[in-house]
Chain A
Amino acid sequence: MSAWPTALPAPLRAVNITPGSKMESQEQASGRRIVRNWGHVPPDRATVQFRIQKDLEPEFNYFWHREGMDGTWFTATWLTAMGYADHKARMLGHPRRKGVNPLWSDFAVTLLIYPSAYCVDPEPWPSESGA
């Protein structure tokens, strides 16, 4: 259980969302397309951009390395504004640093968004001590 750091900003307005689809389609030799649903609905995928000020970059990087990199689901208040009431998100891939500027940097992040009830945090890496 983790939460988006309160010091970090919400994403910019350039939000693009693709819902998770369980549809499998197959084109027949006759040219007809048959579709069926298979499995459970995967998480929604959202591409967002964060504008991180220079002094907040260490915090963003810390959050990424401690929480984002191992795929931990986190709660965020700005998910509500994107239309998700009881959902969690996690980062997919590595945040791509787009604009570099003395004052701020833009990070393009792909988020997976899933209902909280479905989110399972990854197992911690086993240590020798078992702790």
Chain B
Amino acid sequence: MNSWPETLPQSVYIDYELQPRSGLLSSTEARNPTRNRTYPECSATFSMTVSAAQLATFRAFYDTTIQQSGEFSCPWLEDLGFDFHFVRFLSSPSWRMSQAPGQWVLTLPLEILAGAEMDGSDVDIFPPEES
């Protein structure tokens, strides 16, 4: 699996917002809600400040490495309590010029998906329902 480039910010001290999904067939169903996900994915938005060179690195990663839609692993997920998880873009990222000269604020709309621990003798697999 592709991993987040090492030259980009690795810190957990970035702005983020997490929104777990309901895991129901219809989240507005009042009487007989049907659960279709035992472990629903989590929508997340991460923001970080990057330089122009880092932005070019991110652009190459986004366009070429993951082809805009591939999944990748992030170093800060573990610190947020998501061990053995990976992420995928929910929609297009965006960036805006920061007040600091030469800096950009990068916003990443991602979804956090469950992975599996595959190393060691004690292999615990918590797979999603499909795949």
Contacts and interface: CB of A to CB of B under 8 A. Distances in A.
Interface of A: 13-23, 25, 29-33, 35-37, 41, 83
Interface of B: 21, 23, 25, 36-37, 40-41, 52, 55-56, 59, 62-63, 67-69, 88-97, 99, 111, 128-130
Contact of B69 (A19, A31, A37): A37
At the interface, is chain A mostly helix, strand, loop or mixed? loop
A29 B129 CA distance: 12
Contacts of B88: 35
B23 to A, nearest CB: 6
Nearest to B59: A19
A33 B41 contact: yes
Contacts of A17: 94-96
A23 B89 contact: yes
A15 B21 CA distance: 32
A14 B97 contact: yes
A18 B99 CA distance: 18
